[in-house]
Amino acid sequence: MLTIQEIMETVTMVQEEHLDIRTITLGISLRDCADADPRTACQKIYNKITRLAGNLVPIGEDIAKEYGIPIVNKRISVTPISLVAESSRTDDYLIFAETLDRAAAEVGVNFIGGFSALVHKGITGGDKKLLDSIPNALDKTERVCASVNVATTKAGINMDAVALMGRLIKDVAFRTADRDGLGCAKLVVFANVPEDNPFMAGAFHGIGEPESVINVGVSGPGVVKRAVERVKGSDFGTLAETVKKSAFKITRMGELVGRSAAARLGVPFGIVDISLAPTPAIGDSVAEILEAMGLERCGTHGTTAALALLNDAVKKGGAMASSYVGGLSGAFIPVSEDSGMIRSVEEKALHLDKLEAMTCVCSVGLDMIAVPGDTPAETISAIIADEMAIGMINQKTTAVRIIPAPGKQVGDYVEFGGLLGRAPVMPVHRFSAADFVGRGGRIPAPIHSLSN
């Protein structure tokens, strides 16, 4: 029997603790849109996206109203464009990015993911054309997100691709310098990328996915923080149990919304991504959860342990609450999108090296990090390589979304506004890794990839 306390608990979570559904993401396969004529391919892509996603936004709004829970974003992910465009007779894939941008605008979604390539073992002709088109595509479009998978546990790390990504990221920052390098906020480099991730900028519709599918990303750091505050001083068993229960409740809302959206759109329900996704709003911060656990500031000694506990307890609670959990499913620690992280960086409690350590025990990686604009491309590649190594060795997803802020130095800020927030520019190591990055080739897969 539902009690008045339970009803009020749900109402409070939404009204005071920022519980929301971060995104319902419609995955759409574009594999049947390939054509030798790029314009014909783009027409097919536009028609398919607008046909399948036409009702996504109104249906999302209806569900939000009915259940009284905000659904912050409605988004679309598509088959990696490198695969769709590869057979078209063109060297420039900008036309594909512009088509995605137009389709997204037509159906009213703020981001569309899938300007992507999977190059963890090598780069095909289509992959190369896509990679070369990324700077222009992110400059000329508003809603398109790009991602590149450069490493897996099974294949190792494609260091040629890592080196290239360092240069590409610099180029993207340069071209979008008038917007503080905004293009870099829409470009993610992955190891072990999931094919059903609903969160931008890394979402795409994997090749093992159905024709179309609904995936849901939940939020809720504020709910977990309040729950953790209520058990101040208790032992770790109680703490973990409290986080588990909160994660369970948050995820149930995701499951409800996902199933409801899938049924109304007439497509299969894919997964709930149980990641704790912070927003710049005060109180909706993963860093503040860690601080509520007893750390004076996020980034100090003990942060990695606290995050490990948090991430594991969220998974245990979330896994019980949903029939299908997938995507990234771990706590996010994006600097620019988390007010607590920003404060820790400002107070010099949190450094890039500690963030790297934290990514060993949570999803997803070095996310929304601003570094000085004059950081060499090789250094960015080396930062990516470190993160990819963590993913490869630990058989987990890791990612890098880094902004070499044009014309800015440590102490300056990049300002993106909205959910992307603002980020203080963080220092990087000044010693070079250019000779290491420049070797070329692949870092072989680790011994434990030989699991057959």
User: Tokens 């569309």 identify what position?
Assistant: 112
Q: Contact with another protein (CB under 8 A): which of 4, 301, 435, 447?
A: 4
Determine if residue 147 is left, alpha or beta; phi over 0 gives left, psi from -120 to 50 gives alpha, anything else beta: beta
Among residues 66 and 142, whose Cβ is nearest to another protein? Answer: 66
Rounded Cα distance between 289 and 294, Å, is 9
Among residues 219 and 336, whose Cβ is nearest to another protein? Answer: 219
> Under the criterion CB under 8 A, does residue 7 sit at the interface with another protein?
yes
Q: Which helix (DSSP H) or strand (DSSP E) does residue 414 occupy?
A: strand 413-417
Min CB(194)–another protein separation in Å: 25
Considering only CA atoms, which of 204, 238, 226 is closest in space to residue 285?
226
Among residues 195 and 255, whose Cβ is nearest to another protein? Answer: 255
Among residues 69 and 420, whose Cβ is nearest to another protein? Answer: 69
- Whole-Å CA distances, 144 to 165, 168, 234, 251, 378: 18, 16, 46, 28, 26
Among residues 257 and 420, whose Cβ is nearest to another protein? Answer: 257
Among residues 255 and 291, whose Cβ is nearest to another protein? Answer: 255
Among residues 181 and 221, whose Cβ is nearest to another protein? Answer: 221
Among residues 255 and 284, whose Cβ is nearest to another protein? Answer: 255
Q: Contact with another protein (CB under 8 A): which of 43, 44, 62, 177?
A: 62
Q: Contact with another protein (CB under 8 A): which of 51, 65, 230, 448?
A: 65
> How far is residue 179 CA from its own chain's centroid?
21
Min CB(256)–another protein separation in Å: 4
Residue 235: which residues within 8 A CB-CB, separation 6 or more?
none
Other C-beta atoms closer than 10 Å to the C-beta of 439 total 10
- State the burial class of residue 105 (Cβ atoms within 10 Å of its Cβ: 0-12, 13-18, 19+): middle
Min CB(252)–another protein separation in Å: 5
Among residues 57 and 105, whose Cβ is nearest to another protein? Answer: 57
Min CB(58)–another protein separation in Å: 12
Min CB(1)–another protein separation in Å: 6
Min CB(423)–another protein separation in Å: 34
> Under the criterion CB under 8 A, does residue 6 sit at the interface with another protein?
yes
> Under the criterion CB under 8 A, does residue 450 sit at the interface with another protein?
no
Min CB(273)–another protein separation in Å: 17
Min CB(11)–another protein separation in Å: 5
Q: Contact with another protein (CB under 8 A): which of 58, 68, 125, 444?
A: 68
Note whether 337 and 280 are within 8 A (CB).
yes
Rounded Cα distance between 394 and 385, Å, is 14
Min CB(251)–another protein separation in Å: 9
> How far is residue 432 CA from its own chain's centroid?
28
> Under the criterion CB under 8 A, does residue 8 sit at the interface with another protein?
yes
235 to 294, contacts with another protein by CB under 8 A?
249, 252-253, 255-256
Residue 312: which residues within 8 A CB-CB, separation 6 or more?
240
φ and ψ at 228, to 5 degrees? -65, -40
Other C-beta atoms closer than 10 Å to the C-beta of 300 total 15
Note whether 416 and 174 are within 8 A (CB).
no
Among residues 46 and 67, whose Cβ is nearest to another protein? Answer: 67
Look up residue 368 and give its DSSP letter: E
Rounded Cα distance between 228 and 452, Å, is 42
> Under the criterion CB under 8 A, does residue 18 sit at the interface with another protein?
no
Among residues 116 and 251, whose Cβ is nearest to another protein? Answer: 251
Q: What mask of x and - would describe binding to another protein in positions 106 to 145, judged by CB under 8 A?
A: ----------------------------------------
Q: What share of the chain is helix, strand, coil (3-state, %, to 5)?
A: 45, 20, 35
Rounded Cα distance between 274 and 198, Å, is 10
- Residues in contact with another protein, counted by CB under 8 A, come to a total of 21
Q: Contact with another protein (CB under 8 A): which of 1, 418, 430, 440?
A: 1
Q: Contact with another protein (CB under 8 A): which of 69, 159, 228, 366?
A: 69
Among residues 62 and 211, whose Cβ is nearest to another protein? Answer: 62
| Token pair in block for residue 79 | 């088959």
The type of residue at 171 is: D
> Under the criterion CB under 8 A, does residue 16 sit at the interface with another protein?
no
DSSP string, 20-71: -EEEEEEEE--GGG--SSHHHHHHHHHHHHHHHHTTHHHHHHHHHHHHT--E
Min CB(8)–another protein separation in Å: 6
Residues that bind another protein (CB under 8 A): 1-4, 6-11, 62, 65-69, 249, 252-253, 255-256
